[in-house]
Amino acid sequence: MGVAGTINIADGGRIARNSVLNICTGIASMGLGLVFVPLMLHAFGTELYGVLTITWMVLGYLSWLDFGFSRASAKFVSRELTLGRLDDAASWAWTSVITQTCVGLCGAFLLSGLTPLLVTHLHVLPKNQHLVAVTLHLFAFSIPLTLANRSMTGVMQAGQRFGWINSLSLFNSISTYVVYGIGILLGRDFYFVICGLFALVFVNLAGSYWGATRVLPGLKSLGGIKLLKQGYGSHARAMISYGSWVTVAAIVGPMLATFDQWMISIILGVALLPFFTVPYNVLGRLSVFPGSLSSTLFPAFSALHTKNEWERIEWFFVRAHRYLLIILIPILFVLFTWGSEILRLWIGPEFASQGTLPLQILVLGFGMNLLAPFSGALLEGIGRPDVLAKLYMAELPFNVASVYLLTKYFGIVGAAWSCTLRNFVETIVLWFVVYRVVPLSLKKFATSAFVRPGLALVIVGLAAWLIRSPHLRSYYDVAATALTLIFYGLAIPTLILDRTDKNLLLGLCRTQILGKG
């Protein structure tokens, strides 16, 4: 096997730059979503929008067919890159791609066969049942392509090639909304929308393959597959051993996250689902921030674990929480305080009347749960994905009971409370579990990550309580909100960031200005 120079995957400056790039791309995609959600709702109605939501949910459930190979691909490829073994890294990559493609084909036939059963159990008008069936059948055969795409993305993550990952993500977001827009212009053609989305899967796979070859040029030649004759079995067993627990988490995690939406569909009907899913998806867009950081931290944690550099792991883990809180506090403050006005102006007063309270309740839970991905990235990076999976399995029966009861007796508001309760309990328990597994200090984590941002959070929370139900016509409400945000902005460099944080940010700014890195 060929050996190349060791790649520094855990470089702090590179991680910071890639995280910022991820965030910028995610914000751009989020902005497009804010524009097109009301257009989709008005053009296709709440039921067809609910159909599209249900389809994405079903595909999310089938993400377990990944069998953790995409995550395993990122982990093992990053390890080989750290050690400078590029040929071995390419062998791991081909193992993942070939296995996922074959498994994905099985999943495609599985979903296609289950489609009639799924259609009969959804509260959909008879005239739309055929659309649901066609959508599920077509999207079923995107599964093998999507899984192969994940393996290629894992290779790019391992090599910290987030520039290309984000370019593909932005292209996909723009193309998706272009498809939506053309579908609307063609007279609300829902068939065109689903066919266009299916075609984009092929385009994204081609782009991911090209990006993976920039990390591992050996992927350009199919000759690398011949190397698997000797190593495929051992590689596949190692990936399955690691990925099986990732798979369990991929099965149970979406069940926990979307069970409330299924209960709303079954108990209350699909037509009421958007009053929950629109606020939920708006807040879900904020996952771009922890996702941007954790996706760059995961290969870094894996590389640092290879060298047993626990102090650097702790340094990244603590600061990731602190920086995320700095970003989230003002955003959640605005969404909680001005939620009613945002929904009224964005979609309409009737939607706002039913969607505001669920939005405010969900804000509380999302504010906590958005911190959880760092713990997951750390556990998987050090080779302990079983911990996260076991936590999900222990949590599942309690979540099912709380979602069912709260949704049945309190409707959409009850579903929102069940989601918030789960998010708080899950994230707090996860922190305690992490610090039982890794040789780090829980006390240091709590004081370093939360004390300074926590003080700012208390002040901002008090302002939200004083403002309460604001209106754009109220000068007091607008002024109080502006003053709160100004105070918070001034507090960041003076009260929240320490000297190390400031030096890191200054170094990042200089690098960007000078065009280095």
Cα 241 from Cα 235, distance rounded (Å): 10
DSSP for 449-467 reads: HHHHHHHHHHHHHHHHHHH
Residue type, 314: E
Between residues 419 and 447, the one the model is more confident about:
419
CA dihedral (374, 53, 32, 143) positive or negative: positive
Residue 353 Cα distances to 51, 280, 343, 350, 364, angstroms: 23, 16, 9, 5, 19
Residue position matching structure tokens 């060929």: 2
The verdict on residue 151 lying in a domain is yes
**C-alpha span between 181 and 491 (Å, rounded):** 42
Sign of torsion over alpha carbons 171, 35, 271, 392: positive
Assess whether pLDDT exceeds 70 at residue 123: no
Encoded amino acid at 113, one letter: G
| 5 in a structural domain | no
- Which two structure tokens, joined as six digits, stand for 3? 């050996």
Tell me if 7 is assigned to some domain: no
| 469 vs 379, more confident | 379
pLDDT top residue among 505 and 282:
282
Domain holding 150, by residue range, is: 12-514
Q: What is the pLDDT of residue 104?
A: 85
Side-chain-facing half-sphere of 66: CA atoms under 13 Å: 30
Residue 427 domain-assigned?
Answer: yes
| pLDDT tops 80 at residue 5 | no
Q: Is residue 134 part of a domain?
A: yes
If you average pLDDT over every residue of the chain, what do you get? 80
Higher pLDDT residue, 173 or 481? 481
Give a three-class secondary structure readout of 56-84: HHHHHHHHHHHCCHHHHHHHHHHHHHHHC
The per-residue pLDDT for range 406-417, each reduced to its tens digit, is 988 998 899 999
Residue with tokens 């030649």: 221
8 Å CB contact between 166 and 25: yes
pLDDT in tens, 78-101: 888 877 788 788 888 888 888 888
Q: Per the domain annotation, does 2 fall within a domain?
A: no
Average pLDDT over residues 251-277: 82
The full DSSP string for 259-293 is HHHHHIIIII-GGGTHHHHHHHHHHHGGGHHHHHH
**pLDDT above 70 for 64:** no
How many separate domains does the chain show?
1
Query: What is the arithmetic mean of pLDDT over 219-241?
Result: 72
Looking up tokens 């200054």 gives 506
| pLDDT of 346 above 80 | yes
Q: What is the predicted pLDDT for the residue at 223?
A: 54
With a cut of 80, say whether residue 40 has pLDDT above it: no
Distance between alpha carbon 277 and the CA centroid of its chain, in Å? 16
- Percent of the chain's residues with pLDDT above 70: 81
Give CA–CA dist 136/225, Å, rounded.
Answer: 33
Most confident of 14-18, 59-63, 365-369, 501-505: 365-369
pLDDT of residue 406: 92
Cα gap 207→81, rounded to integer Å: 22
pLDDT of 298? 84
| 6 occurs within a structural domain | no
